[in-house]
Amino acid sequence: MSGPKSYDDDEGRTSPLIRELPDYESTETSQLLGAGHQRRESEEAEVVWDGDKDYEGLPWWRRPSVFWLLGPFALFTLAFGGIMVPKLNLILSLVCRQHFAERAAWDSTRPVAPVFVGGDNPQCQIPEIQAKVSTFILIMSFVTGALSAVVAPRLGRLSDRYGRTRLMAFASTGGLLGEILTVVIAKYADVIDYRWLILGSVFDGATGSLTAGSILSQSYTSDCTPPSKRAVYIGYTHACLFTGIALGPLLAGYLVKWTGSLLFIFYVVVGCHTVFILLLAFVIPESLVKSKREAAREAWAKEKESREHMMGSWLSRIQEVNPFEPLAILWPTGPGSSPKLRTNLVALAISDTIVLGSSIATGAVIILYSGYMFHWGTLKSSQFISALSFVRVFALLGVFPLINYFARVRPAQRRKANGVVTREKHGGADMVDIWVMRVAILSDVLGILGYIFARHDNVFFASGMLTAFGGLGSATIQAVITKHVPQRKIGQILGATGMLHALCRVVGPVVFNGIYAATVKTYPQAFFVVLCALFIFAFLTTFAIRPAVHWAYDDEEDEQEESESSPLHRRRELFGATSTDHLPIDEDQVRVE
């Protein structure tokens, strides 16, 4: 007779199967401890990942996978990266054109060379126009960031109830409308004021912008990816973004050179947005099956009804429109939550905001600093940004899968060879996640220290390449956040972190540009000192994160449903027993499903 099969518990220890099906030593003991056992059963059942069961029997073209998303997302990020420099040049020429037109209206004695929209206009390289362009871009960024901070988390929450793909398509429509408006303004610059470009920022922000697209793509990936591979697959989407940032400007430059028209690249971008939206709406399979969407809607209705009962309908409506209400998910209370869960979520949100928010807010200042200290021109700065992006892609596509293979896949294969049943779990961070976060953030700290002390451009360049490995941290943090909550709250939790990213997009450039402007004459490295302190703080927060902590269940009904699907409940049904019966376990009759 073979021995009992075993499985891995939350802490990585191998335990006999009898641990999964707890026995009762006596009827009296079961009466005293039955409720506690049922609760533990419910919590343990919650952490088992069974996402593949949702798609059983479906043909391959209807089975969701991150690989469905990578191609269209790469197209989208190429358009996003390719448009940055041409749009800046277009805005510069539009502002310059109107500036000289207004000056000629009140002083016709000063002749000015004609300004070509999107062309090479050396007469525009004067402080007055540079200041106007800088201010206008700051206004556009503020409008987009502020609106997306409000909209993106709500789209994330809605996606839990109505699905990911069509809301991803909706999030892209704002960018499409914005670029169409840009083309119209550029073609009719004589009659349309360039300030109408702000309306394009309104369109983009009102549909969530890139922030919502990132949230929803990571939610999609989390739905159809087991926890052991989630960080790697989310890293694939990050790699698409960095590839777009690296290759987009290069491809855009060649397109403009070959066609001789700056507007051509905007037509291409409009086409990319259109294809992306159509693929999401009609081709890419949805990752949330209908039953889970309906369950999420029912849970949301009950939660809303409970809130209205406790607070009153008037206060409940005020809470719903509170712009910071989405952040409440980072401090969960009630059934299934715990102090450790709250500590983990807050620590992860702080680390994620610093790591990703800093990359959003500091890029322009780093370029300004390199030009000031090392006299880098456009070519050298472009090479630096491209190299930085390619190293991030290498880390995410090359290094990260290797780490996951040797730290997770190989040990799982050895356990399986020894007869240990390994189950995919949805139970928070493990020590692999935590150490990847620490090492990645530490590489950022060391790279920023290199920025501070670099007095030669080669040292500065090498320090940047070291910070590029910090990209492993952002992918891991976002994957770990999704592993702390039930599937029906993945979009909601990522929406909260997306709101923090959007706020960084608004506040970060103002803060970091202000620090640099105030200290550039006395100590230009002060900006990096502040940045380094932030990353050291993020590194320290990782020591507050505890493994195997998760939100056990949503509410009492979920607890009952999970308990009914647990192995203990099935054993009782098999023997026709009640919760207080004494049931000896024959290990030869019990099998792991």
Q: What is the pLDDT of residues 63-98, one digit of tens each?
A: 999 999 988 888 888 887 778 778 877 888 888 888
Supply the pLDDT for residue 105.
Answer: 67
> What secondary structure letter does DSSP report for 484?
T
User: How big is the CA angle at 490 (ends 225 and 277), to the nearest 5 degrees?
Assistant: 75
User: Does the pLDDT of residue 340 top 50, yes or no?
Assistant: yes
- Residue in 438, 485, 549, 424 with CA at minimum distance from that of residue 219: 485
State the first-to-last Cα distance of the chain, in angstroms, to the nearest integer.
19
pLDDT above 90 (res 433) = yes
Closest CA to 90 of 283, 344, 263, 313: 263
Give the SS3 label for residue 230.
helix
Query: Are 59-287 and 328-578 in the same CATH fold?
Result: yes
What is 321-386 written as a DSSP string? H-TTGGGGGGS--STT--HHHHHHHHHHHHHHHHHHHHHHHHHHHHHHHHHHHH---HHHHHHHHH
Tell me how far apart the alpha carbons of residues 496 and 502 are, in angstroms, rounded to a whole number.
10
Average pLDDT over residues 342-348: 95
425: helix, coil or strand? Answer: strand
* Residue 251 CA to its chain's centroid (Å): 26
pLDDT confidence of 347, banded at 50, 70, 90? very high
Query: How does residue 42 score in pLDDT terms, banded at 50, 70 and 90?
Result: very low
pLDDT of residue 29: 37
Measuring CA to CA, how many Å separate 400 from each of 381, 424, 526? 27, 19, 33
Which residue in 198, 204, 194 sits closest to 170, CA to CA?
204
Q: What is the pLDDT of residue 553?
A: 60
Give me the mean pLDDT over the 361-366 stretch.
Answer: 80
Helices (H) and strands (E) in the chain, counts: 21, 3
pTM: 0.76
Higher per-residue pLDDT: 320 or 20: 320
Pick the CATH number of 328-578 from 2.60.40.10, 1.10.1060.10, 3.30.70.100, 1.20.1250.20: 1.20.1250.20
DSSP states along 242-264: HHHHHHHHHHHHHHHHHHS-THH
Q: What percent of the chain has pLDDT over 90?
A: 30
Sign of the C-alpha dihedral computed for residues 255, 256, 261 and 264 taken in this order: positive
Distances 458 to 91, 370, 385 between C-alpha atoms, Å = 33, 11, 14
**What is the Cα–Cα distance from 145 to 141, expressed in whole angstroms?**
6
Q: What is the pLDDT of residue 118?
A: 63
Q: According to the model, what pLDDT value does residue 9 have?
A: 43
Give the rounded percent of residues in the chain with a pLDDT score beyond 70. 78
The pairs formed by 333-338 with CB atoms below 8 angstroms and a separation of 24 or more are 334/555, 335/552, 335/553, 335/554, 335/555, 335/556, 335/559, 336/43, 336/46, 336/551, 336/552, 336/553, 336/554, 336/558, 336/559, 337/551, 338/549
Give the dihedral sign, CA 420/425/430/432: positive
Tokens of 401: 């899968």
State both tokens at 109.
């004695």
**CATH class of segment(s) 59-287:** mainly alpha
Whether 433 contacts 479, CB under 8 Å: yes
CA-to-CA distance for 496 and 152, rounded, in angstroms?
A: 8
CB 567 within 8 A of CB 20: yes
For residue 500, give every residue at least 6 positions away whose Cβ sits within 8 Å of its Cβ, in sequence order, or none. Answer: 327, 349, 352, 353, 357
What tokens does 239 get? 């790699």
Provide φ and ψ at 15, rounded to 5°: -130, 150
Domain residue ranges of the chain, discontinuous segments joined by +: 59-287, 328-578
Tell me what pLDDT residue 279 has: 93
Instruction: Give yes or no for residue 562 having a pLDDT over 60.
Output: no
Number of other residues whose CB lies within 10 A of the CB of residue 379: 8
Question: Band of the pLDDT at 586, cuts 50, 70, 90?
Answer: very low
Pick the range with the lowest mean pLDDT from 83-92, 157-166, 181-190, 303-312.
303-312
* pLDDT at 506 > cutoff 50: yes
Note the pLDDT of residue 107.
Answer: 65
